[in-house]
Amino acid sequence: MRVLAVADIHDRLDNVRRVAGVERDVALVAGDFTYSWSAEAARRTLEILAQGSPVYYVAGNMDPGDAFGDLGLANAVQLHGRVVQKNGVYFAGLGYVGEGEAEAVLGRLRGLRPLVLLTHSPPYGVLDKAYSGERLGNKALRRFIEAERPVLVVSGHVHEARGVEKIGETLVVNPGPLMRGYYAFIELEAGRAEAELLRL
Which tens digits make up the pLDDT trace of 131-146? 999 999 999 999 999 9
CB 68 within 8 A of CB 81: no
CB 5 within 8 A of CB 185: yes
**Distance separating alpha carbons of residues 56 and 198, to the nearest angstrom:** 20
Residue 89 has, within 13 A of its CA and on its CB side, a CA count of 23
Which pLDDT does position 40 carry in this prediction?
Answer: 84
According to DSSP, residue 160 is labeled G
Lowest mean pLDDT, pick from 4-8, 39-43, 113-117, 164-168: 39-43
Is the pLDDT assigned to residue 156 strictly greater than 80?
yes
**Distance separating alpha carbons of residues 195 and 185, to the nearest angstrom:** 6
Which pLDDT does position 63 carry in this prediction?
Answer: 87
Lowest mean pLDDT, pick from 4-13, 40-49, 60-69, 168-177: 60-69
Is the pLDDT assigned to residue 67 strictly greater than 70?
no
H/E stretch holding 100: helix 99-107
Which pLDDT does position 66 carry in this prediction?
Answer: 65
Q: Residue 144: which of 197, 182, 108 has the closest Cα? A: 108
Domain ranges of the chain: 2-199
Average pLDDT, the chain: 94
Which pLDDT does position 176 carry in this prediction?
Answer: 98
Question: 3-class DSSP state for residue 17?
Answer: helix
**Residue 64 burial (CB count, 10 A):** 17
**Distance separating alpha carbons of residues 170 and 192, to the nearest angstrom:** 9
Residue 172 has, within 13 A of its CA and on its CB side, a CA count of 24
Phi then psi for 53, rounded to 5 degrees? 180, 170
CB 117 within 8 A of CB 94: yes
Omega before 175 cis (within 30°)? no
Query: What's the CATH number for 2-199?
Result: 3.60.21.10
Is the pLDDT assigned to residue 48 strictly greater than 70?
yes
CB 188 within 8 A of CB 89: yes
Which pLDDT does position 38 carry in this prediction?
Answer: 79
